[in-house]
Each structure stands twice: as C-alpha cells, then as structure tokens.
C-alpha cells in the first residue's frame, strides 16, 4: 500500500468541502421581514358584531379595533384570536408585547381594563402582580377616579 499523498488528501478535502452548502449566503440574502405596522392606519376597518361578541371580558374592544387598524390586514385575524374565546380548541396564548415600539402603546390600551377585571388591588398594581400590559394606564385611571378628574386617554 502506498502512503496517502498530502496533495491528494488536500484536493479531496477541498472538493468535499466545496460541495457543502453554505448557510451564510442564504442568511445574508434573506429579505428583511415585513413590518407588522401599516404606515397609515386603516380607518375603514371595523370589528364585526360577531368578532366583538367573541372578545373575552377585560379587554378594551375600541382599543383593540384601533390596534387592528394599525396592523397589516393579513395579520389581523391572528392578532384578534389572542383576545377571543377559544372556539376551535387551539389556544393562542396571551399577546402581551409587540416588537414594534409604535404598536406597544396601543396594546397597552387594549389590556388596561384587565386590571379591573381581575380585581387587582392597589398593591397588585404597584407590584405588577399579574404582569399584564396596561398597568400604567390602569394606575392613571384609578387615580383619576379617586380624584374625580377625567382620566387621560393615551
């Protein structure tokens, strides 16, 4: 048997590695994901009576409609499902954060009434016991009720 030549080994290794697909090229050429938010809110969008009837207690329906007007139409049903009763047996989980900072305040408005729905105490609000979004809005509204002043809507 002849000892393997280093040159033959190097050529074989180069051919073998050259045939492997690189993931770097794919990642670098991937298009940027589409934004969730529309550049201009779709004021013509309205929740149907059926959709409204399916929304779980504790969520601000008007604020939810405002949020849905601000997102792409192809994502509205998916977002809406997070706030509705489960019908098809598929739990959607709770939507507490949106990664587009312009949409997060709208989501906070949707959640603000939930603090009252779960009968959160002042201590619960102060300690953020439930971890729901909308805590600051709930605090402001509670303070406004106590002082007799109209609450500022964000």
Q: What is the pLDDT along the chain (154 residues), one digit of tens a residue?
A: 555 555 544 444 444 445 544 444 434 454 667 889 999 999 999 999 999 999 999 999 999 999 999 999 999 999 999 999 987 777 778 899 998 999 999 999 999 999 999 999 999 999 999 999 999 999 999 999 999 876 655 5
Residue 71: what are its φ and ψ, rounded to 5°?
-105, 160
Number of neighbours of residue 6 by Cβ within 10 angstroms: 8
Query: Which run of H or E residues covers position 87?
Result: none
Structure tokens at 122: 């002042």
Q: Do the beta carbons of residue 132 and residue 114 sit within 8 Å?
A: yes
Q: pLDDT at position 87, please?
A: 77
> Closest by alpha carbon to 111, among 66, 53, 69?
66
Structure tokens at 36: 């969730």
Beta bridge partners of 84: 55
Q: Work out the angle between the directed axes of helices 104-111 and 61-70 (0-180°, nearest 10).
A: 160
Alpha helices in 5-48 (DSSP H): 6-18, 23-29
Q: Helix, strand, or coil here: 44?
A: coil
> Does the reported pTM lie above 0.95?
no
């Amino acid at each position: 048997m002849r000892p393997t030549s280093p040159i033959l080994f190097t050529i074989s290794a180069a051919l073998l590695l050259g045939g492997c697909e690189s993931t770097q090229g794919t990642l670098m050429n991937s298009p940027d994901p589409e934004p969730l938010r529309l550049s201009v809110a779709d004021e013509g969008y309205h929740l149907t009576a059926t959709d409204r009837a399916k929304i779980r207690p504790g969520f601000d329906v008007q604020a939810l409609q405002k949020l849905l007007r601000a997102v792409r139409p192809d994502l509205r049903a998916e977002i809406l499902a997070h706030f509705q009763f489960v019908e098809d047996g598929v739990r959607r989980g709770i939507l507490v954060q949106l990664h587009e900072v312009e949409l997060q305040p709208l989501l906070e408005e949707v959640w603000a009434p939930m603090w009252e729905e779960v009968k959160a105490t002042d201590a619960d609000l102060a300690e953020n016991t439930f971890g729901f979004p909308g805590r600051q809005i709930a605090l402001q509204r509670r303070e406004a009720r106590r002082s007799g002043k109209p609450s500022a809507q964000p």
